[in-house]
Amino acid sequence: MEAEELSSKLILWLSLAALAFCAAASAQESTLRVTGEGSVQVPADTTVIAFYVQNSSDNFTIAQEAASLMLNQTEEALLAAGVSKEEIGPHRSKGRITTHKVICNTVNNSTDCRDVTVNAATMRMVVRLNSSDANETKRIIEAAEAAGAKADIWGYDLRDPSNALEQARKKALENARAKAAYYASSYDLTLGESMQIEEPAYPDIEMGPSYGWERPWRMGRMHWMHWMDPFSDMDRFWREEYIPEGMAEVTAYVRATYQVKA
């Protein structure tokens, strides 16, 4: 009898253990993990402009000195136009272009040709103008061109993206919650509170003009979303969200885990 009683207790204990294991497994399965993405577009507050000067001479040293003088005059013109010292980058890039020409002169049916070497010295400085206003940018460029320089707008930037990042993260959380609610309702489940929220990738900051899906590195940085949802970034592809010139698009990503109940 004792052996039968011990066997019954063992069977009961094993049954309880199995039930506990199933309950634990069920508890693990009663969670839903989704990814969320949120984007906002805000005006860029910085215009990056490169200013170039060039001077040519038979003697490269003379050409370089002249180019340096032209760049100094350009800087003075920018300061007079209201650009601050802090906006003008301290680095000056230098370059050299050497060309060979054959010059021929004909005198009394006699042609004399000689090789001529021309050395061109180039210099460049970069200005991060604390403005994205087109009229202001045009005024600054015109002041530099009057001093003999040429200008090229390299692009735009955000000095302080913190406010835009906060907005993007809020949108990403709302997007994750909406996805989770949709998935839960599809299986007749009730969505509970969020159990865990993480930000698995740094936010993207992309400057216009461009489409959000144009740059291949964006796809590379989103490999974790492919793992969670293979069609996640295709939403951006089909939406064709254009980023106008002078605007910045800030995109944040979150991964959230929610409780679900039958």
For the chain, state the CA radius of gyration: 33
In a domain, 13, yes or no: no
Q: Do 215 and 204 touch, CB atoms closer than 8 A?
A: no
User: What ranges in the chain are assigned the alpha helix state H?
Assistant: 2-29, 60-80, 134-146, 162-186, 216-221, 223-228, 234-239
Q: Total structural domains in the chain?
A: 2
Question: Do 138 and 50 belong together in one domain?
Answer: yes
Residues 169 and 138 in one domain: no
Asked which of 121, 140, 157 is the last residue of a domain, the reply is 157
Residue 35: its pLDDT value, please?
Answer: 93
pLDDT in tens, 101-112: 788 888 888 888
Q: Which amino acid is at 196?
A: Q
Residue 20 lies in a domain: no
Same domain, 55 and 141: yes
Strand partners, 155: 48
pLDDT in tens, 40-65: 999 999 999 999 999 988 889 999 99
> How far is 73 from 183, CA to CA, in rounded Å?
64
Beta strands in 76-109 (DSSP E): 93-107
Tokens for 205, please give them. 């900051």
Cα 165 from chain centroid (whole Å):
13
For residue 89, the domain's CATH number is 3.30.70
Looking at the structure, tell me whether residues 126 and 165 fall in a common domain.
no
Residues 234 and 176 occupy one common structural domain = yes
Q: How far apart are CA 129 and CA 127, in angstroms?
A: 6
Q: Quick one: pLDDT at residue 29?
A: 54
Listed residues 157, 183, 212: the one ending a domain: 157
Tell whether 9 is covered by a domain: no
Quick one: pLDDT at residue 129?
96
Looking at residue 183, its pLDDT comes to 92
Same domain assignment for residues 133 and 176: no
Print the domain residue range for 192.
Answer: 31-43+161-261
Is there a single domain that holds both residue 75 and residue 150?
yes
Instruction: Please state, in angstroms and as integers, the Cα–Cα distance from residue 45 to each residue in 135, 137, 150, 151, 157, following that order.
Output: 14, 12, 23, 19, 6
Residue 16 lies in a domain: no
* Beta carbons within 8 Å of 91's beta carbon, 6+ residues apart: 125, 126
Residues 168 and 144 in one domain: no
- Claim to verify: residue 167 and residue 149 sit in the same structural domain: no
> Residue 106 corresponds to which amino acid?
T
Exposure of 21 by Cβ count < 10 A (0-12 exposed, 13-18 middle, 19+ buried)? exposed
Question: In CATH, what number is assigned to the domain containing residue 229?
Answer: 3.30.110.170
Residue 14 included in any domain: no
Same domain, residue pair 116 and 170: no
Based on the fold, state whether residues 59 and 112 are members of the same structural domain: yes
Domain boundary among 125, 157, 189: 157
Global pTM value: 0.63
Domain assignment present for 22: no
Mark whether 190 and 222 lie in a shared domain.
Answer: yes
19 domain residue, yes or no? no
Give the residue ranges of the chain where pLDDT is below 70.
1-29, 212-240
Q: What is the pLDDT of residue 225?
A: 52
Q: Is residue 1 part of a domain?
A: no
Q: State residue 28's pLDDT score.
A: 43
CA–CA separation, 83 vs 149, rounded Å? 16
